[in-house]
Chains A and B, each alone.
Chain A
């Protein structure tokens, strides 16, 4: 179970480094000046760092050996102290320049991602685990910040330092410098292979980390099932296997980096060894001055740290690149369900729903038969229409098409004479309220959950709206909760009973006061008594509000003016309950089935069923 993961990731096109980082440019432009200043500080700081030892040597040699006055000592001390303070100041400034703008970019990308995710269609979220999305929002972006604030700058500084150092080496001895430079050739060749392997490994590890987070999330949300079946061990085994895979990837990644770093550190030094050999020989031969030889090696020793740094930073850059790729993968998923440029407003908002030849297929099941297949249906203003059909016949799918949670792939869904695609999405969803079959609740208070979609109404307080909705949904139980309507109801409302959850979800839909109510099997978890009470109250509310309600039981059907019978994604028949009972065998089968569909007389004759004690 748990180890069987899919992150829903799209086919990952490999992008080049410049392509990926190029997309950052618009974000970087406004802070470019600060980044450059930060880089200059870093550069200057390393120049000062280089200077201090020289100044020390010079001071001791000239000032102290000169007149030998106490004032000279004080002067030297002052110079060194000032330089030292200057270096510290530069280091401090570097951070001041880059930290807050890069953290700003990190946060704005994070917010942007969240905003985009909220816009992405439900179909997208069906495929992506929240852990996977979360890892893109948190880990990946903080990696980016670090790279921008530290990695990129140090990469530039170190590269410049190495170039300057090389120039210095050439001035000491071009032969030795050439030997040293020759070491760069195998490293460069190796770097290409390293790039591919390391990039793939870091991508894999990021994806696996995301999947692992998804597993954690699922194991917590599904803990009741795991406990009910005592499958803790299997869940742990699955997690273990997955975590082990991540560890292996991480170690593989580290080994790749380790191999490369070993080369980056050892090879320049090996060529230096050859350089030492040659240098000594050249010096002995009189072609090279001892001072130049010493200077050459002093520079080389100084460069060693920077060369190592470049190697590390290269790894960091690749990791950041894959992180950024993952980020853009989500950002590039198109938000397909958006408002049109010129949304229209219906002339006569009465809650009149018409579906014409509507078809729908889930995007992850292309080629399969349509789930909704050329369906026609009309809900007249103020009418309550029940939708009846077998398990999996496409009822819930159809309901999702109305508020554009999914987009019909064919035909037209019209509300009050306008295609739903012509509405502003928000306006459309204001006109429609849904109670989902799995009552989706949030871990906030009862009040917040119920008033989630409610708009302020003239002359009525939020409390009135809340009280009315709770009353209709027969959710008076909330007043017995420890803090009444302010009680926090736990994650997904799981500290409530099933029927209590369902009534809150119903109350939420009612509180939204829509033109069209869409209720997906809203009474399934209620006992007959409560169902009756809700139905009675609901009937008065539904008066005047168009309603589409999925029903599995005759009792729910009773609410409806008319019933639509759905089978294989189509509406097979529309009529009143008794009409359908009379003329549709399939309807009798679905709504009142026995082993054999009972005859109309049997079903209608309550006296009979009572005496036989077999009402089904």
Chain B
């Protein structure tokens, strides 16, 4: 198969015929599914456009009619005719204007409905995608899919409907009236379709490439921008401003050159279309002129034909504009649909096995794990954690402790073997059941912008303020939160930058405390705390844990002390397993770790 499924090969611009067809189809299919649910409203809007455009086209006809047939009657003193024609004109004008207003509004409705639909789809889907995906795809790209790519769709939808509908209607209407007037001349005009088709084809091929490139380049600009702003402290501290500038200048110029290319392409299409139109009029004059000469056409008829021929080409420009935005939007949808095509590696089962009240027994059987296609990180192992046990996991950095934890939280699925919760394979559990039962406090204490209370409430959204305060008290975070300018309602700023590292960990911990799961996983949840705060957290833990299952990863002995059992992980294997005192006596790694700890305290 092709290398273009999902987001793979996203940055390729020149595609093979198969790939090209595939991504185009994918993109158009997405557009169709977006339009599907609002088909009716789309048609309604199109109808409004038609009627309004028709009314506006009627206005000059009314004037002609007034002068030709009403004026004599008015001269004859028929004042009713005067009132009638004036009234008809005003009524048509109001209809045209009013409907224009309505369809502008209706088009915005339709376009916004489709955009909202797509926004939600993309958001939901990126949230569903597994961590493996996010680790390589980067947030900058997700943002660029969600912002600048969607923007092109919006441009298409906002103007597109009226451009397309009124354009096509006008062309058809005028062309038909030409056939009625004089089919021979009409054939000359139809002949123009050949060069028009050629230039459109030329434009299609080139603009497709340019717009595809444009999406890639704009994503590059966005990614560079976002990463610089996210890491601004390091950028400043390590004086990377100039280097960052240089890189950004490169990508921004690349993007500008591409924009220029795309505009110049359209800048050729538009005048060429106009040229074709004008030359067709000249051709009509040529053919018609000789017919006038040999007497087979009246002079008056020729004037009419010429003006109509000229009019046929007026809306072609609007249609070209539509096509331009269409090309831009399909190129963007190629990318968006690729993202939507990505399948999460960790999937929810179609028919989950219910687990309304978990006990909390975790069991690995012949489990093997490696990240993606990478090397094996956890070699085959068996591990049984009975419900209610508090297990401490220790080991050198990079040994695989977090990996073990993330497996239980089902951030990743095992490469081989089985992992069960209360005898049910994790892969058979619904997301809801799993998250109710298992909660993990990750090594990175991430806070969202929003209030402290909101951040704690993430553990249990329906929690009351009392419960939130209670959780904060339990972990010893209450005092410092109260001392913030607006207490629990203080905004912690983006990524919790408003509070100190230790305070962030306390808030994350309160969050887990509030969630109150059967299985609690703490990945170095106290590493940035001072010793007194760590003590407080440990006391809270001892109270909280009770009959809960807990997996606690820590480098500090004090944390290990509250455990019933210790696992020593080394190089992706569980090398020691037993109660703390057993392991101290065993004379293995844990014994020496313990020794090192003790030494470190002096």
B139 near A491 with CB under 8 A, answer yes
Q: Given contacts A103-B256, A266-B97, A301-B60, is CB(A4)–CB(B302) below 8 Å?
A: no
For the complex, is A458 an interface residue (Cβ under 8 Å from B)? Answer: no
Q: Answer whether residue B385 sits at the interface, using C-beta atoms and an 8 A cutoff.
A: no
| Residues of chain A lying within 8 A (CB to CB) of residue B500 | 391-392, 396-397
Chain A nearest Cβ from B54, distance in angstroms: 14
Q: What B residues does A321 contact at CB under 8 A?
A: none
Which of A10-18, A106-114, A373-381, A539-547 is the interface stretch?
A106-114
Contact B398 A499 (CB under 8 A): yes
Indicate whether A599 reaches chain B with its CB closer than 8 angstroms.
no
Q: A57-B303, A405-B237 are in contact. Are A250 and B108 (CB under 8 A)?
A: yes
Q: Which residues of B sit under 8 angstroms from A367, Cβ to Cβ?
A: 485
B232 A222 Cβ-Cβ under 8 A: no
Q: A459 on the interface (CB 8 Å rule)?
A: no
B177 within 8 A of A: no
Q: How far is the CA of A527 from the CA of B454 in the complex (A)?
A: 33
B524 touches A525 (CB 8 A): yes
Given known A122-B232, A126-B493, contact A103–B260 (CB-CB < 8 A) = yes
Q: Is residue B470 within 8 Å, beta carbon to beta carbon, of the partner chain?
A: no
Q: Which residue of A lies closest to B255 (CB)?
A: A107
> B101–A65 contact, CB under 8 A?
no
Q: Which of B441, B448, B457 has the most chain A CB atoms closer than 10 A to its own CB? A: B448
Instruction: Report the bound CA distance from A119 to B440 in whole Å.
Output: 38
Give CA–CA (A600, B145) in the complex, Å: 60
User: Given A73-B293, A225-B458, A229-B439, does the pair A437, B278 have CB atoms closer than 8 Å?
Assistant: no
- CA of A56 to CA of B108 in the docked complex: distance in angstroms? 40
Smallest beta-carbon distance B237→chain A, Å: 5
Within the complex, the shortest CB–CB distance from B290 to chain A, in Å, comes to 6
The reply to whether B135 and A490 contact each other, CB–CB distance below 8 Å, is yes
Residues of chain B within 8 A of A6, CB atoms compared = 449, 491
Contact (Cβ within 8 A) B226 A217: yes
User: In the complex, how many angstroms separate the beta carbon of A552 from the nearest chain B beta carbon?
Assistant: 5
Chain B residues whose C-beta falls within 8 Å of the C-beta of A609 in the assembled complex: 598, 601
Query: Do A277 and B83 touch across chains, with their CB atoms under 8 A apart?
Result: yes
Determine which of A126, A254, A269, A552 lies in contact with B530 in the assembled complex, contact meaning CB atoms within 8 Å: A552
Which residues of B (384-439) have their CB < 8 Å from a CB of A? 394-398, 401-403, 409, 411, 431-432, 434-436, 439
CA distance A594 to B535 in the complex (A): 7
Tell me, rounded to whole Å, the shortest Cβ–Cβ distance linking B89 to chain A.
Answer: 4
Contact yes or no, B104 A254, CB < 8 A: yes
Output the least CB separation between B423 and chain A (Å).
21
> Would A438 and B397 count as touching, CB distance under 8 A?
no
Residues of A within 8 A of B139 (CB): 216-217, 220-221, 491
Q: Are B101 and A261 in contact (CB under 8 A)?
A: yes
**Complex CA distance for A478 and B446, rounded to whole angstroms:** 26
Q: Is the CB of A293 within 8 A of B82?
A: no
| B41 interface contact, C-beta 8 A | no
A236 touches B123 (CB 8 A): yes
- Across the interface, do A130 and B229 meet the contact criterion of CB distance under 8 Å? yes
- A498 near B402 (CB under 8 angstroms)? yes
Asked if residues B225 and A95 are in contact (CB atoms below 8 Å), the reply is: no
CA distance A606 to B227 in the complex (A): 48
A365–B120 touching, CB < 8 Å: no
Minimum C-beta distance from B398 to chain A (A): 5
Contact between B530 and A390, CB atoms less than 8 A apart:
yes
Which of B9-17, B21-29, B203-211, B245-253 lies at the interface with chain A? B245-253
Among B66, B241, B283, B598, the residue within 8 A (CB) of A119 is: B241
Q: Which A residues lie within 8 Å of B345 (CB)?
A: none
Q: Is the CB of A243 within 8 A of B120?
A: yes
Chain A CB within 10 A, most for which of B147, B440, B584: B147
Query: Which residues in chain B, 99-156, are within 8 Å of chain A measured between CB atoms?
Result: 100-102, 104-105, 107-109, 112-113, 115-116, 119-120, 123-124, 126-128, 131, 134-136, 138-139, 142-143, 146-148, 151
A287 within 8 A of B: no
With A57-B303, A80-B278, A213-B147 given, is the CB distance from A130 to B531 under 8 Å?
no
The listed residue (A60, A89, A133, A430) touching B229 by CB distance below 8 A is: A133
Contact A442 B231 (CB under 8 A): yes
Specify which chain B residues have a CB less than 8 angstroms from the CB of A591 in the assembled complex: 531
A312 to chain B, nearest CB (A): 10
In the complex, are the beta carbons of A552 and B528 less than 8 A apart?
Answer: yes
CB B234 to nearest CB in A, in angstroms, measures 4
Bound state CA distance, A270 and B381, in angstroms? 84
Contact check, B602 vs A554: say whether CB atoms are below 8 A apart: yes
Known: A391-B530, A440-B233. A266 touches B411 (CB 8 A): no
User: Is the beta-carbon distance between A76 and B101 smaller than 8 angstroms?
Assistant: no
Segment from A21-29, A134-142, A345-353 that makes contact with B: A134-142
B495 at the interface (CB under 8 A from A): yes
Chain B CB within 8 A of A462 CB: no
- Are A60 and B299 in contact, with the CB atoms below 8 A? yes
Chain A positions 349 through 360: 1 when the CB is less than 8 Å from some CB of chain B, otherwise 0 = 000000000000
Q: Which residues in B have their C-beta under 8 angstroms from that of A222?
A: 446, 448
Q: Which residues of A contact B86 (CB under 8 A)?
A: 273-274, 276-277, 280
Answer whether residue B33 sits at the interface, using C-beta atoms and an 8 A cutoff.
no
Give chain A's interface residue range (CB within 8 Å of chain B). 35 or more
CA distance A261 to B60 in the complex (A): 20
CB-defined contacts of B82 to chain A, threshold 8 Å: 277, 280-281, 284
Could you say which residues of chain B place their CB within 8 Å of the CB of A59? 285
Given A228-B442, A433-B238, A497-B402, answer yes or no on A297-B63 (Cβ-Cβ < 8 Å). yes
Determine the main DSSP class of A at the interface with B: helix
Are A266 and B98 within 8 A (Cβ)? yes
A:385-437 near B, CB below 8 Å: 389-392, 396-397, 403, 405, 426, 429-430, 432-434, 436-437
> Does chain A have a CB within 8 A of B349?
no
0/1 string, B219-242, CB within 8 A of A gives 1: 001100111111111111111110
Least CB separation from B523: chain A residue:
A498
Give bound CA distance, A91 to B107, whole Å.
29
Identify the interface centre among A221, A492, A526, A555: most chain B CB within 10 Å of its CB.
A221
Q: Is B260 within 8 A of A100, CB to CB?
A: yes
Given A1-B458, A280-B66, A91 and B602 touching (CB < 8 A)? no
Contact residues in A for B293 (Cβ distance below 8 Å): 64, 68, 70, 73
Cβ of A463 under 8 Å from chain B: no
**Chain B residues with CB below 8 A from A232, complex form:** 124, 127-128, 431
Residues of B481-523 whose CB lies within 8 A of A: 485, 491, 493-495, 497-503, 506, 508, 511, 515, 523
Chain B proximity of A509: nearest CB distance (Å)? 9
Stretch at the interface among A151-159, A160-168, A192-200, A528-536: A528-536
| B74 close to chain A: CB less than 8 A | yes
Whole-angstrom CA separation of A288 from B83 in the bound complex: 18
Contact string against A for B residues 288-316, beta-carbon threshold 8 Å, 1 for contact and 0 otherwise: 01101100000100110011001000000
Enumerate chain B residues within 8 angstroms of A60, measured Cβ to Cβ.
285, 289, 292, 299, 302-303, 306
Alpha-carbon gap, A606 to B598, bound state (A):
7
Chain A residue nearest to B126 in the complex (CB)? A220
A595 on the interface (CB 8 Å rule)? yes
Instruction: Let me know if A273 and B281 touch, CB within 8 A.
Output: no
Question: B598–A269 contact, CB under 8 A?
Answer: no
A224 at the binding interface (Cβ < 8 Å): yes
Q: Which residues of B contact A396 (CB under 8 A)?
A: 500-501
Kindly list chain A residues whose C-beta atoms are within 8 Å of the C-beta of B241: 115, 118-119
Chain B residues lying within 8 Å of A477, measured Cβ to Cβ, are: 398
Identify the closest chain A residue to B493 (Cβ). A126
Q: Which residues of A contact B508 (CB under 8 A)?
A: 225
Residues of chain A within 8 A (CB-CB) of B584 are 613
Residue A33 is within 8 A (CB to CB) of chain B in the complex? no
CB-based contact B530/A590 at 8 Å: yes
24 contacts between A and B (CB under 8 A): A60-B285, A77-B289, A80-B282, A81-B278, A84-B277, A91-B270, A95-B264, A107-B255, A138-B222, A219-B126, A228-B441, A229-B511, A258-B105, A258-B108, A262-B98, A269-B90, A273-B86, A284-B75, A293-B67, A392-B502, A453-B238, A498-B524, A590-B530, A616-B531
3 pairs of A and B residues whose beta carbons are closest in the complex: A84-B278, A266-B97, A230-B435
